[in-house]
Structure 1
Amino acid sequence: MTAPNPPAVQLYTLRDRLAQDRAATLRAVAGLGYRAVEPFDVVTDPAGLRADLDAAGLTVCSVHAPALDPDTRDAAFAGATTVGADTVIVPFQPPERFLDAAALRDLAADLNAAAAAARRRGLRLGYHNHDFELSTRIDGRPALEALVDLLDPDVLLEVDVYWAAVGGVAAPPLLERLGDRARYLHVKDGPVNREEPMTAVGSGRMPIARVLAASRAEWHIVELDHCAGDVLTAVGDSLDWLVRNDLAGVGEA
């Protein structure tokens, strides 16, 4: 696989700022040096979002959208297309869908059906993990890895390396085992527990350099679910640290 694209940022990180002034927030993201983003809502106002992204000079690497529910799937796919994405990521499924082999088979069937619907729209489908998909074991293996065996070959993973670590699975060997299946990464840092806020990439306990060395992903996407300080500063510091340590380039996405 070729070198990954310049880092993107997951817009959920900046959700409070976006709610206040979306256009200004996107301009600020571009001003930090990012060239791509991952939106988390392409259903509410996709045309307006696309206009603000274009004005800021930002492209879209992928989107988070409710693609498993047939009632929301068409709107999710249409929104993804409107903002210029070719990949739709299912951002969450409840922990009970990973409790045992039968539940996992049902989830895989739903993901495969959604992926088939996405293909008909010219889109790819992926799944994004939290911690419980790694802490839960199916036949002695992390449930996320067991899920992969049940998915159609073109269903990809967006591996959240921080939540994997919180779930008790080290990210570098996980990424090596997943190989090309992990096409997107959420890159984040912090104290590696559920309770405390996350930090700028490079200032926490995650072995970011080793994580990225193990990655074969197309996109590395900075995200902070919660941040103790100014979140825009942390997003900028994250990119600065990645570039300064030769872990990312900056340029056209």
Structure 2
Amino acid sequence: MLFFKRKLTKTAGMLSLILASTAPGFSYADTAAVAETTPQLSVQLWSVKDAMQADFEGTLTKLAAMGFDGVEFAGFFGNYANDPAALKAFLDKLGLKASGAHVPFEKLSPEQLNTTVAFYKAIDCHYLIIPMDQRAFTVEGAKAVAADLAAVQEKLTPLGMQVGYHNHKPEMLGEMGKTPWDVIGKNTNSKVILQQDVGWTEVAGKDPVDFVKAYPGRTITTHYKASAPEPGNTEDPILGKDSTDWKALINANKTIGGTQWLVVEQESYPAGMTPMQSVEASLKGLQAIIAETK
């Protein structure tokens, strides 16, 4: 029976890759080398930025107790800004990993790169993601961003680290295959992470699964956001209460995206709920969805 289950799982995985290969701009040859993953759950700390600034250690302790495996840093380090070794020890104590960090381009400039890399290597954080660059809001500007990402990645590769880019709405606008996001994807190598923000992708009118399929193995981390703070957006901001087909996305992340981390990000909060309560509700919603996909 165990053998049968393993064979069935493998067959299903291969079938998903074959089906995915029919998507525009997608080839089975690209997916064949992507190993199936079991992503862990993280939270983007910007979601609870006020709590982080008020009580760094207490907030991380509460997030660990909720059941997160990791945290994605957003420039908040409390009393550990100059003591990454102590920060790593604190994370270890809580059973948390650094799933990544949002780091602006200036922190990766030639003048600051060594200092930045030393800090993040000390906390065992290997994924450094550019949170936003307004140049990437246009196709022409995205070409310059892609060139900068490629240059940074060339320096990070020997260090066992990866740079990436995180989208908002403008990067996803336009014809599929010709968006600013596509410009970045097509003009950088496979080491550069394409960290898709699902909420913003959907606000732009696109299906996030299509972008995972278009760039196999490059969605190493993904922001699971039910609702982006767009004027007029009435989507429920709690994962599982919204309209996103999370099961399809989870399957794509696992079988095609090479995804290591599903990162809960909360930028909208239901009335009467604090950011911490909203994050916990989204985590529980995501955990329930994952349980249903097994």
The two structures have a TM-score, normalised by structure 2, of 0.75
Q: Deviations over 1:182-217 (max 9, x none)?
A: 221100113x56125862211223222222222221
Give the root-mean-square deviation of aligned CA atoms. 2.5
Structure 1 residues 136 and 71: CA distance shift in structure 2, 3 A: farther
Alignment correspondent of 2:265: 223
1:170-249 counterparts in 2 under 5 A? Answer: 170-190=207-227, 194-195=230-231, 196=233, 199-215=237-253, 216=257, 217-228=259-270, 229-247=273-291
CA contact (8 A) 2:52 2:76 kept: no
Between the aligned residues of both structures, percent identity stands at: 23
- Structure 2: how far apart are the matches of 1:208 and 1:3? 16
Q: Which amino acid aligns with 2:281?
A: D
Unaligned runs of 5+ in 2: 1-34
Alignment correspondent of 2:196: 159
Which moved further from structure 2: 9-18 or 38-47? 38-47
Q: Deviations over 1:135-155 (max 9, x none)?
A: 1569x7221012211112311
- Structure 2: how far apart are the matches of 1:2 and 1:89? 23
Q: Deviations over 1:149-182 (max 9, x none)?
A: 1112311211111111112211122222222122
- Compute the displacement of 1:247 (Å): 4.8
Greater helix percent: which structure?
A: 2
- Compute the displacement of 1:74 (Å): 2.8
Unaligned runs of 5+ in 1: none
Alignment counterpart, residue 58 of structure 1, candidates 87, 91, 96: 96
1:124-139 counterparts in 2 under 5 A? Answer: 124-136=162-174
Structure 1 residues 120 and 237: CA distance shift in structure 2, 3 A: same
Task: Report which of the two structures shows the higher radius of gyration computed on alpha carbons.
Answer: 2
- Structure 1: how far apart are the matches of 2:158 and 2:191? 13
Which moved further from structure 2: 153-162 or 39-48? 39-48
3-state SS of paired residue (1:181): coil
CA contact (8 A) 2:47 2:265 kept: yes
Q: Deviations over 1:10-63 (max 9, x none)?
A: 111111101011111111001111121111127844525434323322111111
Determine if the alignment matches structure 1 residue 22 to structure 2 residue 59.
no
Q: Which amino acid aligns with 2:268?
A: H
Structure 1 residues 50 and 15: CA distance shift in structure 2, 3 A: farther
- Compute the displacement of 1:242 (Å): 2.1
- Compute the displacement of 1:8 (Å): 0.8
Alignment correspondent of 1:69: 109
